[in-house]
Amino acid sequence: MSTHRGRGIRGRLLPLLLCLVIAACSPAWPGTSVRAEGVIPEIRVLLRRLGLTDRADLILSGRYGVACEGTELSLADGARVAVLVREGEIYLASGDVILRAGKRAAFRRYASPAPETGIRFIAGGNLYPGDLTLTLAEGALQPVLTLPVEDYLLGVVPNEMNESFPLEALKAQAVCARTYALSHRDPAKAWDVVDTTNDQVFRGVDRSNTRSAQAVRDTVGVVGMYKGQLATCYYGASNGGQTETPQHVWGGKNAPGCYAVTDDPYDLANPESPVKRARLNRDGSNLPDELMEMIFAQLKPEMQALGYCTSFSVFLRVDGITGVSLGGRKYAEPNRLMTTLTLNLNWSGRFEIHPEPGDENELFLYETPEPGTPSEDGVILTGFTSSGRVSTVTLPLFGGAAGALNLLLGTTGNELITLREEEKAFVLESRRFGHGVGMSQRGAQWMAAQHGKRFDQILAFYYPGMQLMVGGTTAAALPEAPARLFATAGPAPTATPRPTLMPVTGALPAGAYLASVEGIAEDSSLNLRAEPNSGAEVRMRLLPHQRLVVLEICEDPLWAHVRTDAIEGYVMVSFLEKME
């Protein structure tokens, strides 16, 4: 599941819903709700996750027409179409037909007796039930899928929340995802949302996700409203025991009022909510090197004033930690986001001795530097000598001590860090995975599973003041295909099979080994690049399970130099699985 739900406050009116006549009705749930009858609205999704470059292999379910440069071509149920980019233009190949599409190809669904209509981007992949428009952006295919928002949710809910979660939690997720998507509709742009964590993860529809599908059906058309507008239903994985506000996370003064800083006992109680721990031993042992560097930088002026050697941090030893506290509350109470870590320390340092000529017989009183410790020629260091004092060091948590202690859960730098004392250590605990704004998915899971809360009760807790409205519950019928278009047979439906994996033959060079492309979705691909970096030219898109000869691991160990019988290039090591 994703941890971020956008970067700005972009609540908008939803004209299609709000221009409908709204009438009071018997609410579907306790509390206030209103209902507006209407057609299910559509959403336009940029399919960035597919990583298309110069080719897309499509398998059509149901009847489609494809329009390009004033021509429309009929495509029967089961048709396979290869979309190719050649010399800055799009070409379509299906059966014996090759069509120059130019700069744009639009696949439109028509009514069909087939059990489902949609597009698969690879054999066996998930269904993308909608109209597909392919254009060129910087020489690569840019796919935008237009589909009813309820179908969109079938591919979002199980990818944003675990399919195994309680049904009521999944219903709450469906309402949040629906509201978020519709609040981001913008006809002035080429698409409304992307299919990644920049908005909401959408991977097409997998019919095996039956629980998520039921959650979508049971809440069809339900959205959250606040003061006559669609609410901006942000949500995240875990808030760490307290919700946040959009103003704190993203700034600005115009965030909707359906958010508050509220303690969340449900997220805190859920044992699946992520938490990291760090121990600060009272005897000062086993402190991370990075933390010692920070402590040394703070103590250096004091050490210099007392005459200790301060050439290197290894000349400082922490002998004990007598106290630890958290401070620097970033926002007013009750917000519990702390920003500083204060340590009270006993410590020792080392002195420099510059022996006079003839003092050689006294050198047994001193120690030479420890192995590997640099020192200037002729300088001898004493052993560690206690300062005899307790010094106070205050360190920043974010961009400092939290990273050194491995307490960071994400990249937002707003983890909630708490402190408890044990007999031999001070224990720091870090919670909150994501921004913390709106619904916690782990909190919703616990509310539904352990407290029997309904989805509307879950939403009321996380979005105080938000009102539920039902609108757009009628599925629009697909248009009938023009008789002229399907009067004669279209291209043969089985003409373009999925590309065959490239062969790998011959003896392996010394030090080379075989690996296969794994760890990507069946409907996705892996970029083979001309150089070992993510900005290099893409030479080819490798399909799942493609065998490769790994010639070497590059100087940057994230990349490998690979080849097949047909091509050579570089791929990321994390997507390779060594073959026995």
Provide the pLDDT for residue 72. Answer: 83
Amino acid at 403: G
Provide the pLDDT for residue 570. Answer: 94
Within 282-424, strands assigned E span: 316-327, 340-349, 352-353, 380-381, 385-396, 416-421
Give me the percent of the chain exceeding a pLDDT of 70.
85
- Token digits of residue 72: 């429309």
Whole-number Cα distances in Å, 206 to 128, 130, 179, 273, 486 = 9, 14, 22, 27, 30
Provide the pLDDT for residue 408. Answer: 96
Provide the pLDDT for residue 363. Answer: 42
Question: pLDDT tens across 466-495, in order?
Answer: 999 998 899 899 998 877 665 544 444 443
Provide the pLDDT for residue 28. Answer: 45
Residues 455 and 29: their CA atoms lie apart, in Å, by 9
Contact criterion met (CB below 8 Å) for 562 and 531: no
Residue 119 has pLDDT above 60, yes or no: yes
Give all domains of the chain, ordered by start, each with its CATH number.
15-267+440-471 (no CATH), 280-431 (no CATH), 513-578 (2.30.30.40)
Which of 74-83, 88-97, 448-457, 532-541 shows the lowest mean pLDDT across its residues?
A: 532-541
Give me the percent of the chain exceeding a pLDDT of 90.
67
Question: pLDDT tens across 442-468, in order?
Answer: 999 999 999 999 999 999 999 999 999
Provide the pLDDT for residue 342. Answer: 98
Question: pLDDT tens across 216-250, in order?
Answer: 999 999 999 998 899 989 999 999 999 999 999 98
Provide the pLDDT for residue 547. Answer: 92
- Tally of CB atoms within 10 A around 208: 11
Closest CA to 543 of 150, 57, 108: 57
Provide the pLDDT for residue 221. Answer: 96
Mean pLDDT of 126-141: 95
Residues 478 and 471: their CA atoms lie apart, in Å, by 20
Residue 122 has pLDDT above 50, yes or no: yes
Residue 106 has pLDDT above 50, yes or no: yes
Residue 337: helix, strand or coil by DSSP?
coil
pTM for this structure?
0.77
Residue 427: helix, strand or coil by DSSP?
strand
Question: pLDDT tens across 337-371, in order?
Answer: 999 999 999 999 999 887 666 555 444 444 555 54
Which of 142-156, 445-459, 506-520 shows the lowest mean pLDDT across its residues?
A: 506-520
Contact criterion met (CB below 8 Å) for 290 and 396: no
Residues 143 and 195: their CA atoms lie apart, in Å, by 11
Mean pLDDT of 534-544: 82
Provide the pLDDT for residue 380. Answer: 80
